[in-house]
Structure 1
Amino acid sequence: YIAQPPLFKIKRGKREEYLHDEEDLNEQLFDMGLEGVKIVNLKNKKGYTPAQAKDLMKLLTEVEQLSRALNKKGVKFKEFIELRDTKTKKLPVFKVKVEGIDQFIYSDKELETLSKKSKGELDRVELYEAKELEQACGKLEKLGLDLDAFEELEEAAPEVRGAQKKTAGKKPASGRGKKSAAASGGPIFRLENGKQEEQAHSLSGLLKLIRAHARRGLQIQRYKGLGEMNPTQLWETTMNPQTRTLQQVTLEDGVDAESMFTTLMGDQVEPRRAFIEDHAREVRFLDV
């Protein structure tokens, strides 16, 4: 067993709390940001319960992370969502460059057809985020929301490349790449906090407002190592048997860790290069 030190310390006034990871931090920020706040959907004039509001914040955080992952692959989130097939509700699963033009492919079969038609090997990027975003779309629809409204109009790219809407070297199938009327530019939410009211014009805008509420008067310290703690803090957070968190390490964990360490820190360059090339596009969080 290994004692797990905290990653963050948050402080507001005289209150201090230690948190072990990003998930714990987000949980606390949502609790603080939603305290005393009512979120009203201006489309149906209905307010969300505290539980619904917190679930919505978690969902929007996941979408935000997926948006960043797509951006790293050279795919603009707004344009990608507009490529959702209105009939099947499917998003593209591959981005393929054919003769210098990006094309989006919706299935393995479609990719195979394009591969047979093209000369040479295709330059492709697999979009693992598509499935998770499709699930997010379904969850948002149950809350009366549309993923097209995640970004405000000025946040998104002003144009949608016609070439990106092509699939398998032909015109888009019916229902693909059609723009939803969701993001009209008007306010989507009203936040009521006592006598104060604020409006959000997008889903990401709502997320920013709630985070801003949470961070008022809040100090967040991120620990990069145990050396940043004084002896008292180290005892209270990591060593005290009454309060510490222990992580169990099994023999299987040791084998996996040894293999990973040897690949990334060993003398052989080729296995390390191959590992990085294979997995670089899958990275969502990079802590340097």
Structure 2
Amino acid sequence: LTFFYRQMEALVKGGYLYIAQPPLYRLTRGSEKTYLKDDGDFKTYLIQRGMEKKRLRLGPERTLQGPALSQALEKVFAYQEYLTRFEKRGLSREILRLFLELGITSKESLRQEERLGALLQALEAGGRWSARLEEDEEHHAQAVSISFREREAAEMRLDWEFLGGSDFQALLKLDQSLDDFKSPPHRLEEKEKVWEFPTLEELVAFILEEGQRGVSIQRFKGLGEMNPEQLWETAMDPETRTLLKVNIEDAVAADEIFTILMGDKVEPRREFIQSNVLELNELDI
């Protein structure tokens, strides 16, 4: 990309540059080969295989199975992924669930003393965290500062920007769509077999294990790991390949990024990587 951007910029601006999208996974089951483009496709595959012939009981009279079950479980997986993303930033699942359970889910809730008082009480009662409220004069609201008692760590500040952020709002939307999964245990059935899981995490782990049973999984790190036949089947055959068109939406920002990542100065590159590493979802090598 640096070469084309620096030496053939007109080619890029004209919309003539495409990047072949090789698959991330190759799955083999007996003589059957399946290529999957990304983690999303991989998880969909595992859900469909893991839940094949199974049903999820959501009460005495309601069950989910087939496509409806797969769609519900994809939301469960997405919900767990957001929780993991927040954990990488130092924010535990327990704290996030407290926010959701107590209805501290909007900017306005940071002005509601009763909800915030209940949150502080719940955090202190758990014995693992210390918490306090801080004035947010700009928004005439409060911010919640939380620290972990068992080890020295930076405080987490959950404030106006956090509750209005796209990640938290996406988590909230998923949480609201998963009311059926808030009354454990989660019960799976297949003919005479029955499994019960006290938490969503255990249900997800079981589905992944079932989906991988009998399947050989190869995860590609890049095109260099593929042989010629695999390259043709996945990235070069015009009938089946997936191409990503390269566009320049902001020339100034593009130039800045190329300068930082490919320039001679080490410090700006290090700062960029350190400040963005937690947002990384996929790395192409």
For 2:66, the aligned partner's letter is P
Check whether the contact 1:41–1:188 (CA below 8 A) recurs between aligned residues: no
Distance 1:281 1:104 in 2: 26
The structural deviation recorded for 1:4 is 1.6
Task: Evaluate the alpha carbon distance shift between residue 241 and residue 277 of structure 1 in structure 2; reply closer, same or farther with a 3 A threshold.
Answer: closer
Q: State the Cα distance separating 1:7 from its structure 2 match.
A: 1.2
Cross-structure match for 2:123: none
Is 1:7 paired with 2:24?
yes
2-structure distance, mates of 1:61, 1:106: 36
Q: Say whether residues 1:109 and 2:140 are aligned partners.
A: yes
* Contact 1:30 1:54 (C-alpha < 8 Å) held by counterparts: yes
Aligned Cα root-mean-square deviation (Å) = 3.5
| Aligned residue in 1 for 2:181 | 145
Q: Aligned partners of 1:262, 1:84: CA distance in 2, in Å?
A: 42
Q: What is the DSSP-based 3-state SS (H/G/I as helix, E as strand, rest coil) of the residue aligned with 2:218?
A: strand
Give the aligned partner of residue 57 of structure 1. 73
Distance in 1 of aligned mates of 2:87 and 2:142: 22
**Which residue matches 1:47?**
63
**More helix per residue:** 2
CA contact (8 A) 1:236 1:243 kept: yes
CA gap 1:278/1:4 in 2 versus in 1, 3 angstroms: closer
Per-residue CA shift, 1:47-91, capped at 9, x if unaligned?
014233112211121221122222222222123312336356559
**Letter of the structure 2 residue corresponding to residue 76 of structure 1:** S
Query: Identity of paired residues, percent?
Result: 31
The answer to whether 1:241 aligns with 2:238 is: yes
- Equivalences for 1:50-129 in 2 at 5 Å? 50-84=66-100, 86=102, 90=106, 101-103=130-132, 108-111=139-142, 125=157, 127=162, 128=165, 129=167
Cα gap change, 1:53 to 1:32, in 2 (>3 Å): same
Give the superposition deviation at 1:217. Answer: 0.2
CA shift for structure 1 position 235: 1.3
| 1:172 aligned partner | none
How much has 1:278 moved relative to structure 2? 4.4
Q: CA deviation at 1:36?
A: 1.0
* Distance (whole Å) between structure 2 residues aligned to residue 137 and residue 22 of structure 1: 21
The match for 2:222 among 197, 220, 225 is: 225
TM-score normalized with structure 1 length = 0.67
Structure 2 distance, partners of 1:206, 1:59, is: 13
Question: TM-score, structure 2 length as denominator?
Answer: 0.68
Gaps of 5+ in 1: 94-99, 115-121, 147-181
> Could you tell me how far 1:258 is from its partner in structure 2?
4.5
2: distance between equivalents of 1:264 and 1:72? 24
Quote the residue 1:37 is aligned against.
Answer: 54
Q: Are 1:41 and 1:189, in contact at CA under 8 Å, matched by a contact in 2?
A: yes
Matched, 1:268 2:268: no
Return the letter of the residue paired with 2:171.
Answer: L
State how far apart, in whole Å, the 2-side matches of 1:130 and 1:219 are: 36
Change in CA separation of 1:85 and 1:35 when aligned onto 2, cut-off 3 Å: closer
Distance 1:84 1:23, change over 3 A: closer
1:200 maps to 197
Q: Report how many residues are paired.
A: 233
Selected match of 1:136 from 170, 174, 190: 174
- Report matched runs for 1:169-208 at 5 Å: 188-208=185-205
